[in-house]
Amino acid sequence: MCLIVKTNDSSSVKENLIKSAYENNSDGFGIMYLRKDRVVTQKIVPKSSKDIVQLFDQYKEMKIPMGLHWRFTTTGSSNKGNCHPFSVLNTETHGRDVFLMHNGAKLPTPMIDKDKSDTHQYVKYVLRPMLSNNPDLLYNADWQEMIADSIGSDKLLFLDSKTKKFTIINEDEGELLENDMWLSNTYSLSRGVGMDYDPVTDTLSNNIMPYGNSSIWNSKSYKPTYGTRSDNDWGWDEVYDSGYDYDKETFKSQSNTFEISKEGELYNLADLYGATSDEIDEIVKRNPSGTSDMLHDLVYATQDEIYDSVSELEQLKFNSKGGNK
């Protein structure tokens, strides 16, 4: 669900990162940075990673702080208007530019405008009304905490032309690299959709990788297998051959597990019944947005909705044991 990169030096953004970020998040690209007293932005809907490389080459040697965003569409149309960043405030009306980039499943906002993304509508109906009369709320610790609590594990990156500062909400949910580059996540660089990227070693791989230690991911002898996760490094301690080829044969336990492994396919808890641990692992990696939507709906479900979901699951268990015969 998208990727934000915040860097203090635009020349530190590697071409391998750009390529992998595009292949895993190909629905839009945008940048924002400061020039004098304004926030400058540029957005495109790229047809290939080359489009982004060519665009970014214009800014790379400027060696300035910059925010970059690769979009993976979850709501709204895939077009330039839904690409990030979004204008929250502008100098002409509010006396300063404030722009925003978002990474996450779905923001808590009314979905009123047709074909617009949740970020667009969150800016329009939530952030702009709050910040228009008091832009300095952006730096109020209580306000930041309120926003963080309301958006869960989602991340927001603001850029303010007046203070010339970047502000990150839920910064700890991302990853800070040794070169002070901040990534809103790393899973969108290594979910097996396109070229997977290790930001520590600046290497690309075609492997379908488990989440874990980057040194394990990039070992020349590494082959994707499954085992027990370590509490220390989230690598694989006990590795064994699963016997799967990771195509339709991966999902043998029930007929619909292959269908719900497709990216964007919606499903519920009952759809996972009968799936093995390996199959669920594959579903989560192949269909992150569908999984995110399922978990979001479950977390915010009413008591009756939770009861219905659990009842459906219990009925499946009952039927599988011959209870309906």
Q: Which of 73-87, 114-128, 279-293, 304-318 has the lowest mean pLDDT?
A: 304-318
Q: Answer yes or no: is 206 within a domain.
A: no
**How many domains does the chain divide into?**
2
Q: Answer yes or no: is 227 within a domain.
A: no
Assess whether 171 and 309 both reside in one domain. no
**Residues 101 and 67: beta-carbon distance below 8 Å:** yes
Position 87 pLDDT exceeds 50: yes
**Which tens digit of pLDDT belongs to each residue from 115-165?**
889 899 999 999 999 999 999 999 999 999 999 999 999 999 999 999 999
Assess whether 84 and 178 both reside in one domain. yes
**Which tens digit of pLDDT belongs to each residue from 52-72?**
999 999 998 899 999 999 988
pLDDT, mean of residues 280-291:
82
If we measure between CA atoms, which residue out of 172, 156, 175 comes closest to residue 108? Answer: 156
CA 242 from chain centre, in angstroms, equals 28
Query: Which stretches within the chain are classed as H helix?
Result: 15-24, 49-60, 91-94, 118-122, 128-131, 141-151, 214-217, 257-260, 277-286, 288-299, 303-320
Query: How confident is the model at residue 76, as a pLDDT?
Result: 83
Assess whether 26 and 145 both reside in one domain. yes
Q: Answer yes or no: is 49 within a domain.
A: yes
Q: Answer yes or no: is 171 within a domain.
A: yes
Which residues have C-beta within 8 Å of that of residue 258, sequence separation ≥ 6? 248, 250, 251
Query: How confident is the model at residue 190, as a pLDDT?
Result: 80
Assess whether 299 and 175 both reside in one domain. no
Q: Answer yes or no: is 286 within a domain.
A: yes
Assess whether 156 and 260 both reside in one domain. no
Per-residue CA distances from 70 to 78, 80, 141, 179, 263 (Å): 12, 12, 28, 20, 17
Position 309 pLDDT exceeds 60: yes
Q: Answer yes or no: is 210 within a domain.
A: no
**Which tens digit of pLDDT belongs to each residue from 205-219?**
875 444 333 333 333
Residue 43, both tokens? 């957005």
Q: Answer yes or no: is 199 within a domain.
A: no
Q: Answer yes or no: is 216 within a domain.
A: no
Does residue 151 or residue 25 have the better pLDDT?
151
Query: How confident is the model at residue 295, as a pLDDT?
Result: 84
Assess whether 247 and 185 both reside in one domain. no
Binned at pLDDT 50, 70 and 90, residue 272 comes out as confident
Q: Which of 63-72, 155-164, 252-261, 283-292 has the lowest mean pLDDT?
A: 252-261
Assess whether 279 and 173 both reside in one domain. no
Binned at pLDDT 50, 70 and 90, residue 226 comes out as very low
Assess whether 26 and 171 both reside in one domain. yes
Q: State the residue range of the domain holding 323.
A: 242-325
**Which tens digit of pLDDT belongs to each residue from 173-202?**
999 998 899 999 988 888 766 788 888 888
Query: How confident is the model at residue 310, as a pLDDT?
Result: 63
Query: How confident is the model at residue 311, as a pLDDT?
Result: 57
Query: How confident is the model at residue 322, as a pLDDT?
Result: 54
Q: What is the CATH number of the domain that holds 121?
A: 3.60.20.10
The pLDDT mean for the chain works out to: 78
What span, in angstroms and rounded, lies between the C-alpha atoms of 253 and 262? Answer: 17
Query: How confident is the model at residue 269, as a pLDDT?
Result: 77
Query: How confident is the model at residue 296, as a pLDDT?
Result: 74
If we measure between CA atoms, which residue out of 231, 243, 295 comes closest to residue 268? Answer: 295
Position 11 pLDDT exceeds 70: yes
Position 3 pLDDT exceeds 80: yes
Select from 145, 169, 189 the last residue of a domain: 189
Query: How confident is the model at residue 305, as a pLDDT?
Result: 59
Position 240 pLDDT exceeds 80: no
Assess whether 249 and 162 both reside in one domain. no
What span, in angstroms and rounded, lies between the C-alpha atoms of 57 and 68? Answer: 13
Binned at pLDDT 50, 70 and 90, residue 301 comes out as low
